[in-house]
Structure 1
């Protein structure tokens, strides 16, 4: 008889981001600026996974994603699973999906882009390019690897 033990503490209410590619958990935390808020955060890095070999996991107590945050997460973990927790039980579960565009979330890496000098929100079109996602700026029309935004 084998005894299984949770490697990461359960939460009563909140959100669990599971199946994050190993190494991307810290990028997601940094991007969402969770470390600067008052939420209770549990992070598992390089946890064993039957599907992925190793994975990262983020549990955020008393917090749920906005659509913008979920779209931003998809850049770093396009196949992550989002679990909504209520009373220690999963009440909703869904997979992330790649957004078609992102508005106002990132600065354009092209310093000559009009977004650096005019009061306009950035706008990027998201496209797959093999294993990498590319973001194409609506204004300067240059494409960038999503890795630049992490």
Structure 2
């Protein structure tokens, strides 16, 4: 007998699927989803067809904007977002990394001018073999994994 996992459907909101395992909680913190009164369903380390785990987040009455989807790509580059209205998927799309981020992350370089001046941190995205983010101000380059390890 095959077991089937069931997760409650949401009437209106967003479902973020195909999040790499261990990234779901970081995404909840980053987007401050837990600071709302909306119902959130979280699946951590769920099984996938290829044997690797994945995380899943459902947030009621919250719709992920294109800008948020781009930011989400830092944590989950292969994530899919489903917009739900009246229990039906009305829009489904994959996240995409933008060419740059402004005001999303802080520069890890403590000597960077972005820490002491009234400017928003700005990073350029280098989508080479290993994704790297380069600070506009200090021009230092950091791997995505470095930012993913920050809590």
TM-score when normalising by structure 2: 0.89
Distance 1:28 1:124 in 2: 19
- Work out whether residues 75 and 133 of structure 1, in 8 Å CA contact, stay in contact via their aligned partners in 2: no
Instruction: Give the aligned partner of residue 73 of structure 1.
Output: 72
Once the two structures are overlaid, the 10-residue window that deviates more, 3-12 or 61-70, is: 3-12
SS at match of 2:74: helix
Instruction: Give the aligned partner of residue 132 of structure 2.
Output: 134
TM-score when normalising by structure 1: 0.90
More strand by share: 1
Instruction: Give the aligned partner of residue 89 of structure 1.
Output: 88
Q: Gaps (5+ residues) in structure 2? A: none
Superposition deviation, residue 7 in structure 1: 2.6
How do 1:1-150 and structure 2 match up within 5 A?
A: 5-51=4-50, 53-130=52-129, 132-150=130-148
Superposition deviation, residue 6 in structure 1: 4.3
Q: Gaps (5+ residues) in structure 1? A: none
Distance 1:61 1:5 in 2: 23
Superposition deviation, residue 135 in structure 1: 0.9
Distance 2:112 2:36 in 1: 32
Distance 2:134 2:7 in 1: 38
Distance 2:58 2:113 in 1: 38
Deviations 1:93-138 (A, max 9, x none): 01111111000111111111111111111110112353x4211000
